[in-house]
Amino acid sequence: MSWVVPILVALAAVFLIRTYLFEMVGVMGDSMQPNLENKERMMVIKPLQIKRNSVIVFDAYGEDPTAAKNTNYVKRVIGLPGDKVASHNGNLYVNGQKVSQSYISEAERTSGTGNWTLSRLAKQRNWKYRGATVPKGKYFVLGDHRSVSEDSRYWGYVSAKKVMGVVKIPFWQSTKTYRTNVNSMAN
């Protein structure tokens, strides 16, 4: 019986860490290339503040109508609550200001992103909320590989309640450029 208490304490510690601090998850699919590759492992830090350009993991069930239960997506936050987001000729604009997209190629920006405004997307896709800004408690997200990513351009906003946490690439993984593009781009 002397071994039961340490095992229970260890299990409780693992549960608390995974619930409130961080956990390791894997990328499934190509929507975040070139910065995150299919089957790449990453840390999701739970108490971090979500900023514009943060890469997040969220429960896609109920957000994307095609997502099954227990399906998580990895995407980049482009618009925060209250932001007005638009895309024109490969440039993203948030609140009228052109934003840097140095984390993806010019080809992805110009051919993959498209030309749109939030209100135009909402009308075309028949979203419930059709305003010109990101609603309170929601985020507008895009994949880095814009030409293949199913993201907010198609199914709308991500509820803050569905966000698991912010992605961080460990120092021993990938290259410095990709770690910077994922870990340090948030502003």
- The DSSP secondary structure of 68-124, one letter per residue, reads PTT-EEEEEEEE-TT--EEEETTEEEETTEEE--TTS-HHIIIIIS-SEEHHHHHHH
User: pTM value?
Assistant: 0.87
Task: State residue 76's pLDDT score.
Answer: 96
Query: Would you write out the chain's pLDDT as a tens digit for each of its 187 residues?
Result: 678 777 777 777 776 666 666 777 777 888 988 888 888 788 888 877 899 999 999 999 999 999 999 899 999 999 999 999 999 988 999 999 999 999 998 888 888 898 999 999 999 999 988 889 999 999 999 999 999 999 999 999 999 999 999 988 776 666 777 777 777 766 6
The parent domain of residue 49 ranges over: 4-183
159-168 tens-digit pLDDT: 999 999 998 8
Considering all CA atoms of the chain, what is the largest pairwise distance in Å, rounded to the nearest integer? 68
Residues 119, 138: Cα–Cα separation, whole Å = 15
3-class secondary-structure state, position 170:
coil
How long a stretch of residues is the chain?
187
| Per-residue pLDDT at 19 | 64
Output the pLDDT for position 42.
82
In the three-class reduction of DSSP (H, G, I as helix; E, B as strand; rest coil), residue 54 is classed as coil
What is the count of structural domains for the chain? 1
Which sequence positions are flagged as catalytic?
A: 31, 75
CATH number at residue 106: 2.10.109.10
